[in-house]
Structure 1
Amino acid sequence: MSDRRLLLVHAHPDDESINNGATMARYVDEGASVTLVTCTAGEMGEVLVPDLAHLAFEDKGGLGEHRREELTRAMRVLGVTDHRFLGGFGRFHDSGMAWHEEGHAVAAEEIPDNAFWNADLTEAADELVKVIREVRPQVLVTYDEFGGYGHPDHIQAHRVAMYGALLAAVPSYKRDLGEPHDIAKIYWTAMSESRMRASLRALREAGDTETFAGMEPDGKLPHFVTPDELISARVDGRDTVQRKMDALAEHRTQVQTDGPFFAGAESGHAWWAEEFYRLVRGTPGPVDDEGFESDLFAGL
């Protein structure tokens, strides 16, 4: 077992590459153990590739199985060899979502009976307790309480991760799930407000009005953008960002390689090379000149 062990809990395939791809690749390169738990197969995601539209939930279906293969290829690119679906593939179904008039996701009016959003919290958390007590990570990464942008599966993944971490540490709790383990540091993913405003300003000054449409450099930003004073850590992924983008490209049904995620290749994808985190549990380590930890394991 590696001396450094990182556990990430995400809702759907592709969330891990978007939020933490550079971080995961970096720690793999450094010899740390990286475990990814994905809570659903993303069966109700939007299919952005016309020739694969038949996979959509409302069409012939099969998107979940296809996204499992996409995730396998993405993890191969990042070098992550330990990936699991919470409770096993198909245990929890994608819940779907709808858009609120204020611009964030909400639960859809109709949700499958076996949707992750409907899952019993303790039952789902117990599945994660098993993983935590087996892997014994020092660091856990998941979403904030709003799931970044309100998606019900992201919110539920946050709840399961936080409750699972709590239960896993209790000495008297369900010893049949493994020996108790207390995770030293827990982080929530974040996107830096200052970096977002700077990026928007550069795009608008260059005449690009379509990328991140509706967001302006000095205007109101969505919930997933985090004020810098709330951010604890910044992982420098300049050496691994190309693998992040290559991994994201493997999620072919979910991203368009000529879209905003892939803009800026001429500058080395600098926007996506920095990944930010909020420390919500544990003691922070040393910080740089801007007040950020540069290593999620700092101080351990």
Structure 2
Amino acid sequence: MSDLPDRRMLLVHAHPDDETITTGATMAKYAAEGAHVTLVTCTLGEMGEVLVPELAHLAADRDDRLGEHRITERDAAMKILGITDTRWLGGAGTYRDSGMAWSESGAATVAPDVAPNAFWLADLREAADHLVAIIREIRPQVLITYDDFGNYGHPDHVQAHRVATYAVALAATPSYRQDLGESWDVAKVYWTTSSESWLREGLRRLRAAGDHTTFEGMDPDSDLSFMAVPDDQIAASVVADEYAEAKIDAMRAYPTQIQVDSPFFALSNNLGAYVWGTEFYRIAKGTPVPGEDALEHDLFAGTR
């Protein structure tokens, strides 16, 4: 513990690539500033869709080797972002990607067939204990994960939220599983989110740039509550424009999952810092320390 920097951040994500898309700029910024950033990924992402034709054989319904390939993709992405401490919850392959289906409401939901070792079916306390040990080892002041809906309903995101929430409570309990290390109370817990106003403006900029097919039918002035939250629910924004390019490069490290040659990616890449350089958070534990714009801009503010 004495060898770790004063500022320590732990992120709990469901699959490889989730961390880069939603928190990549935040991770790169704090790592570059000398904070210890630890990434815990809960599954290998075995059920993901393979976007590279020559790697289609890796898919779950064929060779079922996508998970091991995504390990290499995550390693490459984290090297770009400057993250050196990466973990798999319980060890690589302990929990399998649960997959998902789309509900009639348009949100993600549990798939009809779920593998016995799927993360969605994991024993909550067993999974939380794996994370308790990491929390007590790293002793982070800040933990980042998803909200109770997993941002859009994906069962693995929901389960990651549950595991992280339970682990934070258990890790702070001195009498609980002393064999997992000395108790530690995480000062601040954040949930990743999207800003409604930011999303609306981003859609307008994409349309103005000539993209009328991405998010087709999504009116910038319509109800966007299924993808973003009102700005008054957001506690923090990490403005990391100087790390937007690194985030984009890290996304390119996931070719099986992110179609970097799509019209959306090309246009959003051109918009650069605006689309990728600012990331938003709701606060779930702790007291925010807002600036003049009523938002926090340093997630460690108010911690020791």
TM-score (structure 1 length as normaliser): 0.97
Distance 1:177 1:224, change over 3 A: farther
RMSD: 1.1
Aligned to 2:61: 58
Q: What CA distance in whole angstroms lies between the structure 2 residues aligned with 1:207 and 1:140?
A: 38
Matched, 1:271 2:280: no
Q: What CA distance in whole angstroms lies between the structure 1 residues aligned with 2:110 and 2:172?
A: 31
Q: What CA distance in whole angstroms lies between the structure 1 residues aligned with 2:203 and 2:100?
A: 27
Amino acid at match of 2:279: E
Matched, 1:85 2:88: yes
Q: Would you identify which runs of 4 or more consecutive aligned residues in structure 1 move more than 6 Å?
A: none
Distance 1:99 1:80, change over 3 A: same
- SS of 1:34's equivalent in the other structure is strand
Q: What CA distance in whole angstroms lies between the structure 2 residues aligned with 1:209 and 1:268?
A: 18
Distance 1:262 1:147, change over 3 A: farther
Contact persistence 1:97–1:105 (CA under 8 A): yes
Amino acid at match of 1:282: G
Q: What CA distance in whole angstroms lies between the structure 2 residues aligned with 1:86 and 1:132?
A: 12
Q: Show CA shifts across 1:9-44 (max 9, x none).
A: 000000000000000000011000000000000000
Contact persistence 2:43–2:95 (CA under 8 A): yes
Aligned to 2:104: 101
Distance 1:204 1:268, change over 3 A: closer
- SS of 2:283's equivalent in the other structure is strand
Q: CA deviation at 1:206?
A: 4.1
Q: CA deviation at 1:252?
A: 1.1
Q: Show CA shifts across 1:122-164 (max 9, x none).
A: 0000000000000000000000000011000000000000000
Aligned to 1:74: 77
- The alignment of Structure 1 onto Structure 2 pairs a total of residues equal to 299
Q: What CA distance in whole angstroms lies between the structure 2 residues aligned with 1:195 and 1:34?
A: 26
Pairing of 1:189-268 with structure 2 (within 5 A) = 189-259=192-262, 260-268=264-272
Aligned to 1:124: 127
Amino acid at match of 2:244: V
Amino acid at match of 2:226: H
Unaligned runs of 5+ in 2: none
Pairing of 1:23-42 with structure 2 (within 5 A) = 23-42=26-45
Contact persistence 1:106–1:151 (CA under 8 A): yes
Matched, 1:48 2:51: yes
User: Which among 276, 281, 284 is matched to residue 285 of structure 2?
Assistant: 281
Q: Kindly, what percent of the aligned residue pairs are identical?
A: 58
Q: What CA distance in whole angstroms lies between the structure 2 residues aligned with 1:6 and 1:263?
A: 32
Aligned to 2:162: 159
Q: CA deviation at 1:121?
A: 0.4
TM-score (structure 2 length as normaliser): 0.96
Q: CA deviation at 1:262?
A: 4.4
Contact persistence 1:263–1:269 (CA under 8 A): no
Q: What CA distance in whole angstroms lies between the structure 2 residues aligned with 1:248 and 1:202?
A: 21
Aligned to 1:183: 186
Contact persistence 1:288–1:294 (CA under 8 A): no
- SS of 1:84's equivalent in the other structure is strand
